[in-house]
Structure 1
Amino acid sequence: MKTKLIVIALCLAGLFAFGQGPMDPGFRMLETGDFESAEIFFDSYLEKEPKNKTALICYGRAVGLNGKPQNASTLFESLLEEYPRDLEIQLNLYESYLWKEEFEKAKGHYQELVAENPNNFSALLGFANTLSNLKQFEEALNYINKALQLQPENSSARTSRKYMKLGLANQLATEKKYQEGISLLKEIFTDYPEDREVLLSLANLNIQAGALEEAKKSYQRMARSTRDSVIALAGIALVEHLDEEDKAALETALRAKDMAAAFGGEPEFQQAWERYVQALIWNRQFKMANNEIDRIAAVHPNANWLLALKATLGMYTGDFDKSLSSYTRILEKDSRSFDGNLGKANALFAKGEYKKAYQAAYRTLEVFPNQKDAEAFLEKLNRKFRPVVTQKGGHSFDNGNNSAFFQGTSITIPVSTRLSGTVSHQYRTTENTVNGDEAISNLFFGGLDYQILPGMLLKTNLGINQSRFAETSYTLPITEVKLQLKPMKLQNLELGYRREVQNFNAELISREIVMNHYGLNYNLGTNINLGWFTQLMHTAQTDGNNRNLLFSSLYYSVFKKPALKLGLNYQYLSFSEQLPEIYFSPESFHAYELFADSRGTLGGKLQYVLGAASGFQ
C-alpha cells in the first residue's frame, strides 16, 4: 500500500514538469493508473521521436508500473549515462528501485540526492517514503515534514505522512508503548478528521492497551455509513467478548450480519459473517455455529477464514485434532498467518504436545515480534514448567470429639516438558478432647510425573509414614501410582493404586491400619454444559476389612465467569465387616445431596471457591 502511494506521488510530480500537449493522453493514463495503455501509448510515440527524453521517462514509468520494474531500471540507468546528473532521471531511477523493493539501495541514492538538493520536494518525498518502507518511521516523518514545508497542501505528501504515523503507531504498540501510539494516531485527525483507517487503528491500540470502552467509542465514531457501520459493529462485538459480555457480543454481531446482507460477497459481509459465527461459539451455541460454517463452506470452501472458524469451534468443543488440522492447512497456504501460527500453538498445548507448542509459539514471535497474545501464550507455557511450591494447612473436627490440625508442603520441579519431580511433607496432629488420646503423623514422599504420550500421564509417589502415639511409634511405607488418560474428546480416565496409613484420629493411628486403594475415576464432559463424574474404589485393609465405594456426580455449568456449577451427588459405601466401635463401617450406606459450587476472582490474583450442599443419608 505504501509503495503504491510513493508511485503516485512522484509520478504526478514528474508529469507536471513534463506537460507537453501531444503526450497529454499518456500523462492521463499514468495519472489514472492505466499503465498497460500508457506503455502502448509511449512505445508508439517513441517510434516517431525515439530520442524524446520526456517520452522515454514516461515509457520507463509505464513499463515499471506495469510489472516490469527491472526493465524500467535498465532504461533509466542508460538514460542517466546519456544525461549525467539529470535530476528528473535520477528521481525516476531511484523510484524504480522501490518498485523492485530494493529499499536499502534506494535509501543510499536518495540520501545523496537530498544532500545535494535539500529543497527539492520530490527528492524529500521519495526519501521519506523509502525510509517508511524500511520501517524507519521517525526519520521518515522528519523528511516528510520538510517536504510539506515546501508544499504544505500537497495531498500525496500528507497521505504519506498519514501512513508513516500509522506505521509508527503500530511499531510503538509492538513495543507496548500504547499511549504514545494513541497520541500519534490522534495527530492524524488534524489532516484527516475522523479518518476511517485511523479510527480502526485507534480502536485496535485501545484493545491492546486494555482500554475497551475507548475502543468501543472509536468504533462508534467510524459508523457514519452502512458499510462502515458493519465494520464498527463487528469490532464492538469483539470488544464485548473481551469484556466478558458474550450475550451482548452475539446481539451486536447479529446486527452486523443483518446490516451486511446488502454487501453479500464483499469483505464487509465476510467480516460480519465471521464475527457472528465467532459470537455463536463464544456463547456455546455450537450447533448453530456448525450450521453457519457449513453455509460458509458452500460459498467459500477454501477460505482461510473458514478454516479459522472450524479451528475455533474445535478448540471450544474439545476436538483439538480437528483444530490442529485446520490451523495446519491455513499455514500451508499462508505461513505468516497470525491466526494459523498462534492457533496451532494453542491446539498443540491443548493436546499435551508441549514441546511442539513451544516451537509454534517461538515461530509466531519470530513472525510477529513482541506480539502481546503470543507473549501471553508463551508465559502460560512457561508457568506450566516452572518450579512450584505449594503450602496447605487447616483444622478439622467431628462429633466424636476428635480434632486435627494439618499442614503440608510440596515442591514440584519440571525437568523437561515430559518429566517432573515432586517432594512433599505432610504433618498432622490429632486429639480426642474427651479421653485425651493424641497422635502425630509425618509423611515424607517423592514422586515423578512422566508423560508417556500426549494424553497419557503416569504419576508415581513413594515415601514413608512416621506416626507417634503415646509411648509408641512406627514407620511404614506409602506409595501411589496413577495412570491418567484422555480416551476420547471431553473424557478423562484415571486408573490408580494408593497405599496409605489411616490417620483420621488418634485411635486409628494407634492401630496401624494400612489401606490399599484400587480406584477408577471417570469424567465425561459435553458441549451442552452437562458433566458426569464417577469414582469407583475398592479398599483392602490390613485389619481384614474391605470397603467398596461408588461416588457419582451429575452437574450443570450455569455460568462461566464467575463459574457456577449446580448438581446432584450420590454416594454408596459398604464394608465387609462392621466395626462401629472403631470406625464408621456400615454394611450399606447411601447419600444423596444437591450441591452448588462457585469459583472466581476477587480482583488481581485473589481467587475464591465457595461450595454448599444439602441432602440426606
Structure 2
Amino acid sequence: MKVLKAPVFFLILCFSFVFLGHAEEAPDRLGKARKLVEEKKYGDALKTYTEIIAQLLTDPGLLIEWARVYTYADRHREAIELFEKVRKEYPDREKQIIRELADQYKWNGQLTQAIAVYQRGLELDPGNLQIELGLAQALAWDGQHKEALKSYDKGLFKDPNNIQALLGKAEVLSWDDKLEKARKSYDAVLKIDPQNVDALNGIARICVWQGYHRRGIKRYRKILKDHPGNPDAMEGLAFAYHWDEQEGLALAAAEALMAAHPDRHAGGELYDQIRDIKKPHALQGNRFSDDRNHLYIAAEKAHVGTYVGDSTIVGAAYEWYLYRQPGKAPLNGNRGGLDITHRLNEYLTGNSYVYLAKYSAEGFTPFTTNTWLTFKPNDILRFDGAYDRETFEDITSMNEKIIANSGSISFDLKPDRFWLFSTKYKRSHYSDKNNQNTIFSKVEYRLLQKPYLKLFYNFYYSDWADQMNHGYFNPTSIFSNTGGIYGSTNLGKKLFWENQLSMGYEVQHPKQSRPTYYASTSLNYSLPRGVGLFTRAEYFLANDTNPSKRYSKGTIWFGLTYSFGGGVPGKQHEAQQAQRPLV
C-alpha cells in the first residue's frame, strides 16, 4: 500500500488543479447552459451542464435544475437517475421533487414505480392536486380504471372545475365504454372553456365510437378549421373516415397525419393497415354442405378486386358448383361475372354483382344478379332498394330451369349505439308463374363492445300464391320467431373469432310446427405478407317428433384471402346488413 501512496497523491493533486481551473469557468458555463435552455436547445444545454458536473453534484439545487433539463429533452431515464440521487442524498428535498420523479417514471412507461412514488407524494403532501391527478393518470394507463376514477373524483372534490381532472375522467370513462358519462364530463369542460380543443376532440371521438361517424367527421373538420394541424383531430378524422368505410378519404387523412406528426402511434397503425388498400386483393373460398334430404353441395370460388379511384371497387369472380343427391343425376355448373361498388356521394352507395352461368342441366345458362342501392340520410337511418335475379341450389329446380325475379326494400333504424331495428319486404316472381311475399324483421340490443356481444330477435314470414313441386321449399305459408346471441372478439392481434347461437319456433301451413336451432362459429387468421385464412361452420336443425319431418343442414367454409398491398382492415363487429356469401 505504501507503494501506491505517491501516485494516488499525484493524481489527486492533478485533479485538484483541473477542478480549480474549471471552477473558475463554472459560473460562465452555467449561464451559457441556462441560456441554451431558454432557447430550447436542450441537447447543447445538457452538454454544457456535463462540463461542470463536479459543481452540479455538490449542489442539490443545481442537481434538480439539471434533472429538469433532461425532462424537457424527454430523456426520462437520466432524469429519473438524478431525481433519485436528490431523493437519496438530500431527504429534505424529497417533497420538492417527488411529483416530478413520479411523472418521469410514468412517461418512461414504468407505471408500477410511478404509482408508488405518487402515493409517497400524497403521504408527504395529502392536499397536492397535481400529485392526485398524476396518480389517476398512471393508474389509468396501468389498466386500473376503477382506481383511476376514484383518484379523479378525489381531485374533483378538491376542485370541481379542474379541467385536467374532468378531461382525465372522461378519457377513462370512454375506455370503459361509458360513453354517455364521458360526454357529460367533456360538456362540463366546455362550460368552463368553450374552446377547449381536448374536450372538442373527445366529443368528436365519442360520436365515432357511438357509430355516428358523419357527426364525428363534421366535428373533426370544424376543429381542424379552427385549429389547423391539431394531431388529435387529424388522427380522429382518419379513423372516422375508416369506420364510415370511406377508405380513400381515410388514406388521405392518414397520409397527412403521418407527414405532419410521424410519431402518432395509433394513426401510424391505421396508416399501415390502409396505405396499400387500393392495391388488388384476391380471395379463394370453398364451401361444402349436406342436409337431411342428402343434397350434397360442393362449391369453389376465386375472386379478384381492386379500387378504382377513391370511391369505386371493381372485381371479377369465377365459381364452380357440384350437386349430388340420391336418385338424381349429378349436376354441375360454372359461373363467372363482375361486381362493382361505387359510393356516389355522402348519402348513396350502389352495389351490383352480375353473373352468367352454365349448368349441366340441358340448355340452362341463366343470367343472375344481386343489385342494390343504399341511401343513408344520416347516422340513424338506412334504406336499401334491391333487385335480385336468382336460381336455387336444388337439382329439381335447376332441371326445371326455375328463376326468381325479386324486388325488395328494407330500412334500418339505429336510434343509439345499443339498439337496431330492421325490416325488409321482398316480392318474388318465379318462372313457373308462382309468386312469393317475404317479410323479415329483426331487433338487436348490444350488451358489450369488447368483446362485442349482442342479443337479437328475428321474425320471418313467407306466403306463396300456389303450391308447386319444382324443388324450392314452398309451404303455403310459414312464419318463425327466433331469439339468440352473437359475440365476436380479437384473440390476440392476428385472430378474430365470431359465434352465434339461436333457437326459435316455426309454424307452417298446412299445419305443422316445430322448434328450430342454429349455431355457427368462424375464425379469421392474419398471416404475414397480406395473407389471411378463414373458416366457418354452421348447423341448422328444425326438430320434429316425427323423424321423417325433421330437417337439418350443416355447412363449412374455408379459404384464404390475399392483399397485394398488405393487410386488409377489419372491424370488431359484423356489418348491420348481411353480406354476400363468400361462395
The TM-score, its normalising length taken from structure 2, stands at: 0.71
The answer on whether the counterparts of 2:106 and 2:138 sit within 8 Å (CA) in structure 1 is no
Please name the residue that 2:105 is paired with: 202
CA distance in 2, matches of 1:347, 1:601: 21
2:173 and 2:464 map into 1 onto residues whose CA distance is: 50
CA distance in 2: counterparts of 1:603 and 1:319, whole angstroms: 27
Contact 2:135 2:148 in 1 (8 A): yes
Q: CA 1:153–1:363 in structure 2 vs 1: closer, same or farther (change >3 Å)? A: farther
Is 1:230 paired with 2:99? no
- How far the C-alpha of 1:438 sits from its partner, in A, is 0.9
Structure 1 runs not aligned, ≥5 long? 1-115, 171-180, 207-213
Q: What is aligned with 1:304?
A: 197
1:410 aligns with 2:303: yes
2:26 alignment partner AA: F
1:150–1:380 distance in 2 versus 1, CA, 3 Å: same
1:443 aligns with 2:347: no
Q: Letter of the aligned partner of 1:200 in structure 2?
A: D
Letter in structure 2 aligned against 1:144: Y
**TM-score, normalising length: structure 1:** 0.68
Partner of 1:84: none
Instruction: Give 3-state SS (helix, strand or coil) of 2:379's partner.
Output: coil
Q: How many Å apart are 1:136 and its aligned residue?
A: 7.0
Mark the CA change 1:341 to 1:203 in structure 2 (over 3 Å): closer, same or farther.
Answer: same
Counterparts of 1:133 and 1:466 in 2: how far apart (Å)?
A: 79
1:594 aligns with 2:483: yes
Question: Secondary structure of the equivalent of 2:199?
Answer: helix
Maintained 8 Å contact 2:42/2:72: yes
Query: Does the CA contact (< 8 Å) of 2:394 and 2:472 recur in 1?
Result: no
Deviations 1:89-124 (A, max 9, x none): xxxxxxxxxxxxxxxxxxxxxxxxxxx999833554
Cα deviation, residue 536, structure 1? 2.0
Identity among equivalent positions (%) equals 16
Q: Summarize the alignment of residues 461-610 of structure 1 with structure 2, pairs less than 5 Å apart.
A: 461-469=353-361, 472=362, 474-502=364-392, 504-527=393-416, 529-580=418-469, 582-610=471-499
Counterpart of 1:338, as a letter, is P
Which structure has the higher relative contact order (CA within 8 Å, separation 6+)? 2
Which position in structure 2 is the counterpart of 1:270? 163
1:426 aligned residue (310, 319, 326): 319
Unmatched 5+ stretches in structure 2: 1-20, 88-96, 507-583
Q: How does 1:3-402 map to 2 (within 5 A)?
A: 120-122=25-27, 124-125=29-30, 140-149=45-54, 151-154=56-59, 158-159=63-64, 161-169=66-74, 183-184=77-78, 186-193=80-87, 195-206=98-109, 214-215=110-111, 217-223=113-119, 224-225=121-122, 226=127, 227-236=129-138, 238-239=140-141, 243=143, 249=145, 252-265=148-161, 269-285=162-178, 287-351=180-244, 354-382=247-275, 384-402=277-295
Q: How many residues align?
A: 471
Equivalent pair of 1:345/1:361 in contact (CA under 8 Å): yes
Structure (1 or 2) with the greater strand fraction = 2
1:139 deviates by 5.8
Find the structure with the greater CA-based Rg: 1
1:455-505: CA deviation from partner (whole Å, max 9, x where unpaired): 422122223112124xx4643322332212222213333222222332x13
Could you list the per-position Cα deviations for residues 491-532 of structure 1 after superposition, in whole angstroms to 9, with x for gaps in the alignment?
333222222332x13222222222223223332223261222
Separation in structure 2 between the aligned mates of residue 544 and residue 168 of structure 1, nearest angstrom? 80
Native 8 Å contact 1:358 1:381 kept in 2:
yes
Change (3 A) 1:127 1:270: same
Classify 1:602/1:280 alpha carbon distance in 2 versus 1 (closer, same or farther; 3 Å): closer
After superposition, the Cα gap between the structure-2 partners of 1:347 and 1:133, relative to the gap in structure 1 and judged at 3 Å, is farther
- Please list the CA deviations of residues 400-440 of structure 1 after superposition, one character each: whole Å capped at 9, or x if unmatched: 121112222222211222122111222221100x2142111
Query: Within 1, Cα distance between the matches of 2:115 and 2:452?
Result: 31
Paired letter, 2:330? E
SS state at 2:482 partner: strand
Greater share of helix: 1
Measured on the aligned residues, the alpha-carbon RMSD in Å equals: 3.3
Shift in Å, 1:537 = 1.7
Contact 2:262 2:268 in 1 (8 A): no
- Measured in 2, the distance between the counterparts of 1:521 and 1:346 equals 28
Whether the 8 Å CA contact 1:427–1:442 is kept in 2: the answer is yes
SS at match of 1:437: strand
- Contact 2:67-2:83 within 8 A present in 1 as well: no
